[in-house]
Amino acid sequence: MEAANAWLAQDPDAETRAELTALVEAASDGDANAVADLHDRFDSRLQFGTAGLRGRIEAGSNRMNRVLVAQAAAGLAAYLLEQEASPSIVIGYDGRKNSQVFATDTAAIMAGAGVRAIILPRLLPTPVLAFAVRHLDVSAGVMVTASHNPPQDNGYKVYLGGEHHGSQIVSPADAAIAAHIERVAAEGRVQDLPRSTAYDVAPESVLDAYIEATAAVAPAPTGEQLRVVYTAMHGVGWETTNRVLHTAGYPMPTLVADQIQPDPTFRTVSFPNPEEPGALDLSYATAREAGADLIIANDPDADRLAIAIPDASTADGYRRLTGNEVGLLLGWQAAKAAVERAAGDAAPEGVLACSIVSSPALRVVAEAHGLEFRETLTGFKWISRAPGIVFGFEEALGYLVNPTTVRDKDGISAAVAFLGFATAAAQRGEDVAALLAEFSATFGSFGSDQISIRYERLSRIGEVMALLRQTPPAVIAGTKVTSIDDLSGGFEDLPASDVLRLWLDDGTRVMIRPSGTEPKLKIYVDVQSTDGDAAARAASVADRLAVLRGELTALVA
């Protein structure tokens, strides 16, 4: 109650102040649920995790709100001033509730602390902010977004410039920033933080430069073009994507009209994530009507990309490709491009990188083209830092195709890259399904599955991980477990992470880890087959994945 009342005394937001006042009154009247809610809000603080700060927009130190954002901005400013004498920062925001408010608060507090602050001119995609960090040569960047989270959430992504090349924060910077934030929170009220309106608004030339660089990733091949459907998933992707496609020479796609403008309520989807069941239903309906060859979908802040292709065997008439399928096709194209860039007999240069839970097939692609392969922890804050990277991806629909300009996942540049090679293939008489079949014939059949187990009690996740470490399974789905890598103490060149990697006798790989953003345990399964023809391999992979899904779900229940 003391913490809640102290929070009320400094909360500048009328909505969260009224909501917390009602909760405090209910708790004072003996409402057990209200008391439990207060504990959940004030017993801890949001910490910089996989996606920086991210949480529900409500009052409390364990929520996203103007008090927490002010403390975070002041803490980040103190960190930057500790690193250099005259630091600078660029700030972006998407169309979610309070995004512009949080961004403006951040700019004012940065300027008040003596950090040169630049705010993007309007709501724009996350990749534009990531680009701006390098383009403007600033010390850091902040993007206010909760990406594909539910409507009631918002978040705060932090990027570092200079030697970090615009990548998201990693250790030890995250811990140092968190320590400054906690100090700011302990020392006084956010009203006492110095603020200034002496911050700059970035010129339109920043967006123009991003559009020019992104369009250059894959200019439209001369000839007949694909019929494309595009959805922004109620996010901020369309304005920028439209200009990129036009600049690159592609025709106007058919739009999913009800999802094309920013809408913080995400009214047509239950969950604004292209991976979720039902999220692409309107896209499928639009594509059927238009007779589309390809569906391109961005998530709300446009840093992720989903692709769907015609498939007569499905009820919708279209099938969304998995993140691994898209990533492997993009990686294959990147590897071919690296070979083409090599002059004469010179060895191709570059690194293909993916997260430890993404398909191991990218290693096979890299080796086949004489390139290096690098495996990283989950998240683009790690993937983007792979030395010499020319392409990186993670199975959660994230792709980095232009590392010389953006060191983060970028759903717009990835869309252009995919559209470029899909168009070229169509002009040769091949569709995307044929490219996938060619990949399988060239490198073998790979199949992946992801199992998410949600627990009501958050502590159960740690209990399950501890049990798996104490008494690991010897056999899974009738196949011997040959080795187990525990990454909690670091493994080879990977930093420590709460991940278990199990290898089975038939080459199957199983990864088990807690989610970085939700109360879930995630299991990633990868199988492969090189026996028989393409149809037999595909059937073998599918059957094996089905059996493993059942057994692994039971293992961690």
Per-residue model confidence (pLDDT) at position 278: 94
The pTM of the full predicted model, rounded to 2 decimals, is 0.94
Catalytic residue among 88, 99, 147, 167: 147
**What does the alpha-carbon distance between residue 11 and residue 79 come to, in Å, rounded to a whole number?**
24
Asked if the domains 2-202 and 208-320 are classified in one and the same CATH topology, the answer is yes
Q: Which CATH superfamily is domain 2-202 in?
A: Alpha-D-Glucose-1,6-Bisphosphate, subunit A, domain 3 (3.40.120.10)
Residue 22 has which token pair? 């009602």
Whether the ω angle into residue 121 lies within 30 degrees of 0, i.e. cis, is no
Overall CATH class of domain 444-556: alpha beta
User: Is 452 part of the annotated catalytic residue set?
Assistant: no
pLDDT over 90, % of the chain: 85
**What does the alpha-carbon distance between residue 88 and residue 22 come to, in Å, rounded to a whole number?**
40
Residue 479 has which token pair? 């196949």
3-state secondary structure 31-88: CHHHHHHHHHHHCCCCCCECCEEEEEECCCCCCECHHHHHHHHHHHHHHHHHHCCCCE
Q: For residue 201, with 0-12 CB atoms within 10 Å meaning exposed, 13-18 middle and 19 or more buried, which class applies?
A: exposed
Terminal C-alpha separation, the chain: 37
pLDDT in tens, 265-304: 999 999 999 999 999 999 999 999 999 999 999 999 999 9
Residue 63 has which token pair? 């929520």
Q: Which CATH superfamily is domain 324-421 in?
A: Alpha-D-Glucose-1,6-Bisphosphate, subunit A, domain 3 (3.40.120.10)
Per-residue model confidence (pLDDT) at position 476: 92
Pick 208-320's CATH classification: 3.30.470.10, 3.40.120.10, 2.102.10.10, 4.10.520.10: 3.40.120.10
pLDDT in tens, 353-382: 999 999 999 999 999 999 999 999 989 999
Per-residue model confidence (pLDDT) at position 50: 58
Per-residue model confidence (pLDDT) at position 263: 97
- For residue 189, give the 3-state DSSP assignment: coil
pLDDT in tens, 53-90: 999 999 999 999 999 999 999 999 999 999 999 999 99
Neighbouring residues of 2: CB distance < 8 A, sequence distance ≥ 6: none
DSSP state of 471: S
Quick one: pLDDT band at residue 51, thresholds 50, 70, 90?
low
- Are 336 and 369 in contact, with CB atoms under 8 Å apart? yes
Judged by average pLDDT, the poorest of 100-114, 239-253, 302-316, 531-545 is 531-545
Per-residue model confidence (pLDDT) at position 455: 86
The residue ranges of every structural domain in the chain are 2-202, 208-320, 324-421, 444-556
